[in-house]
Amino acid sequence: MDGTVAGRRYDAALNLLDRQIIDPDGGLVANVDDLELTERDDGRLVVTALLVGPGVLGPRLGGRLGHWTVAVWRRLCAEENPKPGRIDAADISRIDSGVHLAARPDDRGVDGLERWVDEHLIGRIPGATHEPE
Amino acid sequence: MSPSEAAVTHRISDLLGASVAARDGREIGHVNDLRLAPGQAVRGVHVELVVEGLIVSDRHAGSMLGYDRRAEQGPWLVRAVVRRLHRNARYLPWSAVDDMAWTDRRITVDADKLMPL
């Protein structure tokens, strides 16, 4: 007995990584940058969360670009030891071409790359918040 | 809810690209993907996803783009190229994994359990 049942199989990299995460209202939340796996008592690995943001995307990119991505993210985060955005697997309602959530995620932990760049880089440019003349 | 403090967690990216070796030390290849299957428990409104096995390829040739799933998936030229690149790819059930060295990203397996995709 391996603890699995009949049903659709997913290939993690093919069907989940880099897919769009969609909230119940159809809003685009972020992309799946990595998956958290938790070891069960029987040694099996279970998907327990979707991980998002530059803190987990950087290591996947690798090389200088990946290192730079993580370094800038750490530098600009307010916390001393920032943690990547995390969406509990219990919030997943459906998986098709995207990953659909049953509830809106906590914005504080789920800053997708675009939102992060907007807040931390673009938003800090002088004049970024001014109304057009 | 986060995993409890005692729970050991990893990331999919810790496994993707990890080297795979037989019990006798012979190099087999690298982890190309992880196959997830529905488990018996339900997390929220969706069944939990359990790692059922590994797709092991003898080269870093990128994704198989799903061409291992349907025999007639087109276009045929892309199908032919992807299958050529991954002609030695095999599926390994998780039960055949003997040891996971997470730090070294090296997996020791029972190579006799490798099977065609």
| pLDDT given at position A84 | 86
Phi, psi of B28 (to 5 degrees): -105, -40
User: How far is the C-alpha of A123 from the C-alpha of A70, rounded, in Å?
Assistant: 19
**Which domains are delineated in chain B?**
12-116 (2.30.30.240)
Q: In B16-75, which residue ranges form alpha helices assigned H by DSSP?
A: none
Q: Which fold has domain A12-121?
A: SH3 type barrels. (2.30.30)
Which H/E stretch holds residue B29? strand B27-43
What b/e sequence results for A45-56 when a residue is b if at least 16 CB atoms lie within 10 Å of its CB, and e otherwise? bbbbbbbbbbbb
Report whether pLDDT(A132) > 80. no
Q: Measure Cα distances from A64 to A72, A81, A105 in Å.
A: 12, 21, 31
> Token digits for A77?
């985060």
What contacts B12, CB < 8 A, 6 or more positions away? A12, A13, A17, A34, A35, A37, B34
> Token digits for A35?
């998956």
Q: What confidence tier does B77 reach under pLDDT thresholds 50, 70, 90?
A: confident
Report whether pLDDT(A69) > 60. yes
Residue type, B10: H
Portion 41-80 of A in contact with B at CB < 8 A: 44-49, 51, 56, 59-60
What b/e sequence results for B75-109 when a residue is b if at least 16 CB atoms lie within 10 Å of its CB, and e otherwise? eeeebeebeeebeebbbbbbebbeebeeeebebbb
Indicate yes or no: CB of A86 within 8 angstroms of CB of B2: yes
Q: At B78, is the secondary structure helix, strand, or coil?
A: helix
Q: What confidence tier does A110 reach under pLDDT thresholds 50, 70, 90?
A: low
Within 8 A of A104 by CB-CB distance, chain B residues are none
Which DSSP string corresponds to A41-103? Answer: TTS-EEEEEEEESHHHHHHHH-HHHHHHHHHHHHHHSSSSS---EEEEGGGEEEESSSEEESS
Indicate yes or no: CB of B49 within 8 angstroms of CB of A37: no
Among B3, B14, B63, select the one facing A48 at the smallest CB separation: B3
Indicate yes or no: CB of B47 within 8 angstroms of CB of A46: no
Indicate yes or no: CB of A44 within 8 angstroms of CB of B50: yes
Q: Give the angle subtended at the CA of A113 by the CAs of A111 and A117, to the nearest 5°.
A: 95
Mutation for A interface: B46, B47, B92, most A CBs within 10 A: B46
Among A3, A60, A102, select the one facing B39 at the smallest CB separation: A3
Indicate yes or no: CB of B51 within 8 angstroms of CB of A59: no
| pLDDT given at position A121 | 78
User: How far is the C-alpha of A79 from the C-alpha of B88, rounded, in Å?
Assistant: 46
Which H/E stretch holds residue A114? helix A113-120
More confident: B80 or A26: A26
Indicate yes or no: CB of B47 within 8 angstroms of CB of A7: yes
Report whether pLDDT(A128) > 90. no
Indicate yes or no: CB of B44 within 8 angstroms of CB of A89: yes
Query: In this predicted complex, what is the ipTM?
Result: 0.80
Q: Give the residue on B whose Cα is nearest the Cα of A88.
A: B1
Q: Give the residue on B whose Cα is nearest the Cα of A62.
A: B13
| pLDDT given at position A7 | 82
User: How far is the C-alpha of A68 from the C-alpha of A37, rounded, in Å?
Assistant: 25
